[in-house]
Structure 1
Amino acid sequence: MFKTKNLSPQQLSAFTALILSVPIALGIWIIRPDWEIAVSSLVITFFGSYLLIRFVLESFIYRKIKLIYKFIYQTKATKREETYYKYILPQKGIDEVREDVEKWAEQRSAEIEQLKTNEAFRKEFLQNLSHEFKTPIFAIQGYVDTLLGGAMENPALSKRFLENAARNVERMVNLVQDLDEIARLESGEQPLYKETFIIQDLIREVYETLSIKTAARNIRCSIKKGCESPISVFADKEKIRQVINNLLENATKYGKQDGSIVASVYKTDGRHVLIEFSDDGIGIAEEHLSRIFERFYRTDRGRSRDGGGTGLGLAICKHIIEAHGQTMHVRSKLDVGTTIGFTLDAKRD
């Protein structure tokens, strides 16, 4: 069955001309039953109508459609695009053009939604950044104003205020350093120096480094039974040390008193190694899990700014792991604990 849904301008012109010319030719034949005159009128009417209709379509309709396409792509037409407008576009039916416009509208709608989301994150980030800087700045300002107001005459008080001011300056320095590191990781300016090393040995080294902090809370650090066999990975050792250190500091900070931290190491598909750290601390609510790797993101009062740190540790971890071409993941349940892990390339032959 003949379908008129996606006719090109030429097909539409021919179809319309045929509809016009056949009745006219029949009418002439009825008035004067001469086949030569009837056929001649059919041919003349068909071609005349075809040329006129095609001219109208291309001049007044498809010229507008061409402008729509130029508006959609928002660019000055190249030679390739001009060829498209001249030879390919006129072959398209109105429905095909409509589908192209709908696809463009959907794409732009998705881009707008993404821009809105990015704008919301940007505003939240700037608000958090402002708060992170204001807290130590106002504290330092308060100590300095108090000292200038006469507190310098009391040596003990002066020393305490200066020590507090120094701690806040150190906090700001750490914040700037962390932001700078994230910026360099995002831009790819910080190169990776990959080497082969045994991941369990690195975990034990970080355990030893943090032993004073874990001992203060009587937290036991161990490698899961069955995961002690040495497994080699190919990565930037110092960057991975930083990742493990950040994860263990978080596990220590938010783990429970007399709790435990357990590291697990698994070979997955022969090409990757999975490393996970589990604690039995306060846990994270499900609605926060998708955002914990964002800069400055805080989940609840249990993870407030009063706990110290810059709020950028997990964001730095994520960027380091992604720079290795790998991913991070998290599983958690309130009052049960949290498991955070990542993958690395296995030892290269």
Structure 2
Amino acid sequence: MGLKVKKTYRFAIVTSLYITLFFTSLLVLYFLLNADFSWLLILLASVSVFLFSVFIIQYRSEMFIYQRVKKIYDDVSLLDSAVLRSQFITTDMATLEKEVKKYAISKKIELENLKVREEYRREFMGNVSHELKTPLFTVQGYIDTLMDGVKDKSLRDKYLERAQKGVERLVYIVQDLDMISKLEMGDVKLQYTDFNVVTLVQNVFDMLEMQADKKNIILMFDSKYSKPIRVRADQEKVQQVLINLVMNSIKYGKENGTTEVAIEDFINNKVIIRVTDNGEGIDASNLSRIFERFYRVDKSGSRNEGGSGLGLSIVKHIIEHHNEKIYVESKPGKGSVFSFTLEKAK
């Protein structure tokens, strides 16, 4: 590979050669006219002029370009001016061009991210407004009717029961929003313990048995787990993950269907827990967004099932807070499989 010379040095050397040639020509002409010719004196004078010219031109070029490069760096906020004063600053235009391009690309990416966030914020605020508005108007409507005076006790009890359901849904939304906010800000501290995940799954089945019975859905393991499978995680948070996933499988499952939980060995001293249903499934176009807050695959009917619309988002945040992974596979009409990993207890 040839020797790479800095552009400013090349400029200084070539310019100095021109100056030296001009100076040498004048000097030769002078000595010829005065008949006192000395090659040694001419050579020494030419070399001195050349070296002096290289030094002066290089120094002045460096300073001239440095001031302008420094101003460009300051203007685009690539580097702090204090850093520029304390460190070597390149005056190579190719390097500067590369830095400016890098800056432009980073700003373009930043602007694109801001646009995505702004779109997400608008959608999120619209979803929050809609989710809160529906139960609020429901509660308000029944309370207004009751205040007008309903003499029929059975009708009054019916309205109170529906108003209560609206309040419960508001509570779910507020509690889940609070949970997600804490998870995103890192305010939730995980309490790691060793526990038997098989027992935890069975407890979740017992808690949700009544909801499953309403649709004749069987909650089951994929096989008999005679030995405990111990994991290390926050037991309360993992229980919330399982409740949300099993509840979703019941909510969107077919009547007379099943919800099956499997616990299998995974790589790197981990286990993977799979929650499988044979419900309506999820279209591929929706899979990438199902963990977003308030995102619903069924924009109309899913709200009739209740809940806050934040269950899967909470699941994702809890699993990622454990530094674990969550996966989803689904086919419309065939059902869905939600899987997440946990670390085995030592």
Fold in common (TM above 0.5):
yes
Matched ranges for 1:191-340 at <5 A: 191-225=189-223, 229-301=227-299, 304-340=302-338
The CA deviation at 1:321 is 1.2
The CA deviation at 1:38 is 4.0
Residue 171 (structure 2) pairs with residue 173 (structure 1): yes
Aligned to 1:105: 104
Describe the superposition over 1:251-284 as per-residue Cα deviations: whole angstroms up to 9, x where unpaired: 0111111111111111123521111111111111
Q: TM-score, normalising length from structure 2?
A: 0.88
Measure the CA separation in 1 of the matches of 2:318 and 2:226. 25
The CA deviation at 1:204 is 1.4
The one-letter amino acid of 1:21's match is: I
Contact 2:70 2:84 in 1 (8 A): no
Contact 1:29 1:37 in 2 (8 A): no
* Greater CA drift, 105-114 or 203-212: 105-114
Q: Which runs of 5+ in 2 are unaligned?
A: none
The CA deviation at 1:212 is 1.4
Residue 153 (structure 2) pairs with residue 144 (structure 1): no
Q: Percent identity?
A: 35
The CA deviation at 1:13 is 4.5
Measure the CA separation in 1 of the matches of 2:134 and 2:204. 31
Measure the CA separation in 2 of the matches of 1:183 and 1:221. 31
When residues 209 and 223 of structure 1 are mapped into structure 2, their CA distance, relative to the original with a 3 A threshold, is: same
Aligned to 2:89: 89
* Greater CA drift, 161-170 or 118-127: 161-170
When residues 13 and 75 of structure 1 are mapped into structure 2, their CA distance, relative to the original with a 3 A threshold, is: closer
The CA deviation at 1:15 is 2.3
Measure the CA separation in 2 of the matches of 1:141 and 1:218. 34
The CA deviation at 1:208 is 1.6
Matched ranges for 1:12-91 at <5 A: 12-25=10-23, 27-28=25-26, 31=29, 32=32, 34-36=38-40, 38-40=42-44, 42-47=46-51, 49-73=53-77, 76-78=80-82, 80-84=83-87, 88-90=88-90
When residues 301 and 119 of structure 1 are mapped into structure 2, their CA distance, relative to the original with a 3 A threshold, is: closer
The one-letter amino acid of 1:184's match is: K
Aligned to 1:115: 114
The CA deviation at 1:52 is 4.8
The CA deviation at 1:76 is 4.9
Contact 1:246 1:314 in 2 (8 A): yes
The CA deviation at 1:340 is 0.4
The one-letter amino acid of 2:218's match is: R
Q: Which runs of 5+ in 1 are unaligned?
A: none
When residues 165 and 215 of structure 1 are mapped into structure 2, their CA distance, relative to the original with a 3 A threshold, is: closer
Contact 1:227 1:266 in 2 (8 A): no
The CA deviation at 1:49 is 3.7
Aligned to 1:7: 6
Measure the CA separation in 2 of the matches of 1:220 and 1:122. 39
Contact 1:17 1:45 in 2 (8 A): no
Measure the CA separation in 2 of the matches of 1:97 and 1:8. 13
The one-letter amino acid of 1:109's match is: K
When residues 38 and 170 of structure 1 are mapped into structure 2, their CA distance, relative to the original with a 3 A threshold, is: same
The CA deviation at 1:59 is 4.0
The CA deviation at 1:93 is 1.6
The CA deviation at 1:114 is 1.7
When residues 103 and 257 of structure 1 are mapped into structure 2, their CA distance, relative to the original with a 3 A threshold, is: same
The CA deviation at 1:243 is 0.6
User: Helix, strand or coil for the counterpart of 1:197?
Assistant: strand
Contact 1:13 1:50 in 2 (8 A): no
User: Helix, strand or coil for the counterpart of 1:276?
Assistant: strand
* Greater CA drift, 316-325 or 152-161: 152-161
When residues 227 and 16 of structure 1 are mapped into structure 2, their CA distance, relative to the original with a 3 A threshold, is: farther
When residues 28 and 75 of structure 1 are mapped into structure 2, their CA distance, relative to the original with a 3 A threshold, is: closer
Measure the CA separation in 2 of the matches of 1:287 and 1:303. 18
Describe the superposition over 1:72-96 as per-residue Cα deviations: whole angstroms up to 9, x where unpaired: 3367533x44211xxx114x42111
When residues 346 and 102 of structure 1 are mapped into structure 2, their CA distance, relative to the original with a 3 A threshold, is: same
The CA deviation at 1:56 is 4.4
Q: TM-score, normalising length from structure 1?
A: 0.87
The CA deviation at 1:155 is 4.2
